[in-house]
Amino acid sequence: MVGLVDTGVNVDAPQLAGYAIDQEVAHASGEHGTLVLSVLLGVAEDRTALPPQDVEVVSIDVGREATADDLAAGIESALDADVDVVSISMGCRRGSAALEAAVERADALGTPIVAAAGNVRFLAPDYPARYASVIGIGAVDADGQPWSESASEGVDATALGVDVHAMDAHGEPRTVSGTSFATALATHALVLDLT
């Protein structure tokens, strides 16, 4: 089970048909989560799609401008749902005691958190990616070269984050770039290993 801490998703998007998605809110606060989930599930291009019968998603909407405490609450909700991995394609420049505590709880439970390092150029990664127990993901291009907008120092791993194929809330194809989508691809690979 994947815990997606983001802007929520459009559960009626055609590319998500067949997937079990648990989401409290009826309407997502933004489209970002749907784009991210299309990449994470592998349904946006000829990638190995995660089988609907093997993957459940707990979607936690923390809003488009999530604070550290919002992200902490999202992680806590995901852990309460007993997810196998938490994927966070967003972050903030400052941490908080609540966020650190949520990350420590995930670490104690053995639940990996995969988080975007941030589109912050040469700055240190965003939180929660900056915490030692979180897998912070930077973005590279198709040639494996670091993306110019990605955090690069202090990242734990990189994945394709430039011109990634995604699908929007209406099932239309989009080409997107950012550490958000690198994180989705990294989570995709992790879930494949877990299933």
| C-alpha torsion sign, points 95, 86, 21, 48 | positive
Q: Which residue from 88, 30, 1 is spatially nearest to 10, judged by alpha carbons?
A: 30
Q: In the structure encoding, which two tokens stand for residue 25, read together? A: 């809110």
Q: What is the pLDDT along the chain (195 residues), one digit of tens a residue?
A: 999 999 999 999 999 999 999 998 889 999 999 999 999 999 987 677 899 999 999 999 999 999 999 999 999 999 999 999 999 999 999 999 999 999 999 999 999 999 999 999 878 999 999 999 999 999 999 999 999 999 988 899 999 999 999 999 999 999 999 999 999 999 999 998 887
Q: In the structure encoding, which two tokens stand for residue 113, read together? A: 């958190």
Residue 104: count of CB within 10 angstroms of its CB: 12
Distance from C-alpha of 5 to C-alpha of 95, rounded to nearest angstrom: 16
> What is the domain count for the chain?
1
By residue count, the chain amounts to: 195
Distance from C-alpha of 127 to C-alpha of 115, rounded to nearest angstrom: 8
Domain range for 163 is 2-194
- Residue 164 is part of a domain; what is its CATH number? 3.40.50.200
